Amino acid sequence: MTQTDMQPSDQQDLRMLRESARTLFERAGGSGRSRKLRDAGGGWDAGMIREMAEAGIFGVTVPEENGGLGMGLAAGGVIAEEVGRVIAPEPVVVTVGLSLGLLRRLCPDHAMMEQLVEGATVLAVAWQERGPNGGPAEPSCRYADGKLTGSKGWVAGAGGARGFLVVAEGDAGPVLVLAEAGADGLSVEERRQADGSAMGELSFSGTPAGELASGGAVRAALAEAVNDATALAAAELVGLSERAFEITLDYIKTREQFDKPIGSFQVIQHRAVDLNVMCEVAQSGVREALGLMDRETDPKARARLASRAKARAVTAAKKITRDAIQLHGAVGYTDEFEIALYLNRALVLSAWLGDDAYHRRLWFEAREEEGAAQ
């Protein structure tokens, strides 16, 4: 279902949500605020978290009976696009897609749900593990007798989180537990990324944690939450790409060479048109995937849609931001030019939860499996 297939009232709701989010981010300082936070050492603004919560941003996908707005993943995509436009460092997709995605599926009545929606706390999700060769490894982090032992890698938003939702192995299968950020036996190492953000490496040594859920439902909920976050990350890349293109378009209209704006040269115009088409196609594809994921109940079908969205968005974002740097010329590589911020963010976000090649492979494998089953 595309956004043009929605009822007029639903389209109006999304337009109002977009306008509200854009106004909020622009009033806060736009991409300039992100640069200031990066230069101050990274992290995010707790005050901004509260403002976003008051605007209902964290509750867009949470059902109304659980304290949210119940607007679905398409609305989450609207928010993610606006986050991408200003490269906001706040963990919006992490919270909406992963943290709340897990809790609303496994323990919707838990008090942490309300705290996340209201911006009173921020939780990071730790489920991946790093093997000895640096790549992903089979889960070995253990939870027994109320304590965690082991490690987790690639934890987005770990630096400013007040707690961690950890997927570990228990005596009877996977468990979801909550560990406080300052708990005994927990160490957090931050690894800086190209855009100034950080991924966390967690180490547990008898760390006390509270069990939230267990059994096969944990694994299923995690897969669904990761699909949600993947599709929302694609929407964030779409917003980033749109803004990067706008910045570049403004530049080629004003930058002069041979006493003419470089945008008057036909070769530049052709490149700009190509980038615009790529941007529009990515936007349409990602929005369609989010709308379909709202209606789809089959986990495999939702995973295919998420992979399709991420692959398309990553391809577009990498092409648009790299060409934007070229169209800016040598100054595009300098940190003081805004476009460089967008390239670095695109590189980090493209890799998170899998790049375009990874998701194309998943999509083709899923289609082949589907064909073999028929």
Is the C-alpha dihedral spanning 46, 48, 52, 53 positive or negative? positive
CB atoms within 10 A of CB 184: 10
Residue 196 has pLDDT above 60, yes or no: yes
Reported pTM: 0.94
Q: What is the percent of the chain where pLDDT is above 90? A: 75
Q: What's the pLDDT tens digit per position in 235-255?
A: 999 999 999 999 999 988 877
pLDDT at position 256 = 64
pLDDT at position 5 = 60
Q: What's the pLDDT tens digit per position in 166-176?
A: 999 999 899 99
Q: Which amino acid makes up residue 80?
A: A
45, 88 Cβ separation under 8 angstroms: no
Residue at token pair 């889960």: 139
Q: Which domains does the chain have, with CATH numbers?
A: 3-121 (1.10.540.10), 125-214 (2.40.110.10), 218-373 (1.20.140.10)
Q: Rounded to an integer, what is the distance from CA 58 to the centroid of its chain? A: 13
Q: What's the pLDDT tens digit per position in 337-352?
A: 889 999 999 999 999 9
Between CA 332 and CA 317 the distance in angstroms is: 16
Structure token pair of residue 257: 């060479």
Between CA 124 and CA 114 the distance in angstroms is: 16
Residue 2 has pLDDT above 60, yes or no: no
- Is 163 in a helix, a strand, or coil? strand
- Is 124 in a helix, a strand, or coil? strand
Strand partners, 199: 156, 191
Residue-wise DSSP of 360-374: HHHHHHHHHHHHHH-
Between CA 369 and CA 293 the distance in angstroms is: 20
Burial class (CB in 10 A: 0-12, 13-18, 19+), 98: buried
